[in-house]
C-alpha cells in the first residue's frame, strides 16, 4: 500500500522524503485541479453547509422523465385506489380466516373473502404491469421495482395455489386456510416493500424540490 503511494509521487515527478510529514506537505503543494483534472469537480463540489448552495440530488427511484410519466399516467390513480381497497379486504378476510381456524365456524365467509382478496390481487397485478410499462417502459421487473416484482410472483403463486386447492378440494378446509395465511404473510411483506419504496419516492421528491428552490 505504502509502496504504491510512494511510486505515484515518483511518477508525478515529485521529489522528497517518504515520511508522513513529507506526504502532507506534498498534498498541500499539489494543485488538485491541475494534477487531477478529472477529480476537480468532486473535490470542489459544494456541500451545501454554510455556503447556501445545495449539492446535486442523488439518483433515486424515478428519473425526472419517469416522474413526469408517473404523474401523467391514469394508472397511477388506479393503483392508488386499488392498493388501500385490497388492504381493507385483506384485514376483513384475515379476521374471518383466523375466526374459522380458532372456532371452526364461518368457513364459507372466510373462503369467499380469500377469493375476493385474490381477485383484487389479480386486478392490481394487471393494472400495475400497465402502470410500470407507462412509467418505466417494461411490464415487469423494472430496475426501480425489481425485487418488489420478484416477491410479487411468490404472492401471486400462493394466492393461486389457494384457488386451486379450493377448486380441487385438496388440503381440506383447515389446510386451505393455512395456505391462505401463508399467502397473506407473503402479501404483507410485499406491501411493506412497496410502502418503503413509496417513502423513498417522497424523500427523493422533497430533495429535488429543495434543490430546485435553493439559491445558486
| Domain extents in the chain | 2-36, 64-213
Give me the chain's average pLDDT, please. 77
Give the mean model confidence (pLDDT) for residues 15-22: 40
Distance CA 10, CA 114 (A): 72
192 and 52 Cβ atoms separated by less than 8 Å: no
Which range is least confidently modeled, 49-63, 77-91, 165-179?
49-63
On whether the CB atoms of residues 204 and 59 are closer than 8 A, the answer is no
At residue 145 the predicted structure's pLDDT band, cuts being 50, 70 and 90, is: confident
Confidence of residue 59 (pLDDT cuts 50, 70, 90): low
Amino acid at each position: 500500500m505504502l509502496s504504491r503511494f510512494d511510486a505515484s509521487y515518483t511518477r508525478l515527478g515529485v521529489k522528497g522524503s517518504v515520511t508522513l510529514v513529507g506526504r502532507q506537505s506534498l498534498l498541500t503543494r499539489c494543485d488538485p485541479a491541475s494534477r487531477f483534472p478529472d477529480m476537480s469537480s468532486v473535490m470542489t463540489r459544494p456541500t451545501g453547509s454554510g455556503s447556501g448552495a445545495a449539492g446535486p440530488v442523488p439518483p433515486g427511484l424515478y428519473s425526472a422523465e419517469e416522474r413526469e410519466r408517473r404523474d401523467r399516467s391514469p394508472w397511477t390513480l388506479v393503483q392508488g385506489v386499488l392498493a388501500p381497497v385490497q388492504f381493507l379486504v385483506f384485514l376483513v378476510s384475515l379476521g374471518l380466516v383466523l375466526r374459522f381456524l380458532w372456532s371452526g365456524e364461518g368457513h364459507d365467509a372466510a373462503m369467499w373473502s380469500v377469493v375476493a382478496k385474490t381477485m383484487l390481487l389479480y386486478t392490481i397485478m394487471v393494472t400495475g404491469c400497465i402502470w410500470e410499462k407507462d412509467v418505466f417502459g417494461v411490464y415487469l421487473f423494472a430496475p426501480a421495482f425489481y425485487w418488489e416484482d420478484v416477491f410479487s410472483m411468490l404472492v401471486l403463486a400462493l394466492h393461486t395455489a389457494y384457488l386451486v386447492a379450493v377448486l380441487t378440494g385438496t388440503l381440506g378446509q383447515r389446510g386451505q386456510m393455512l395456505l391462505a395465511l401463508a399467502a397473506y404473510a407473503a402479501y404483507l411483506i410485499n406491501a411493506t416493500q412497496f410502502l418503503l419504496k413509496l417513502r423513498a419516492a417522497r424523500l427523493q421528491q422533497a430533495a429535488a424540490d429543495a434543490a430546485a428552490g435553493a439559491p445558486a
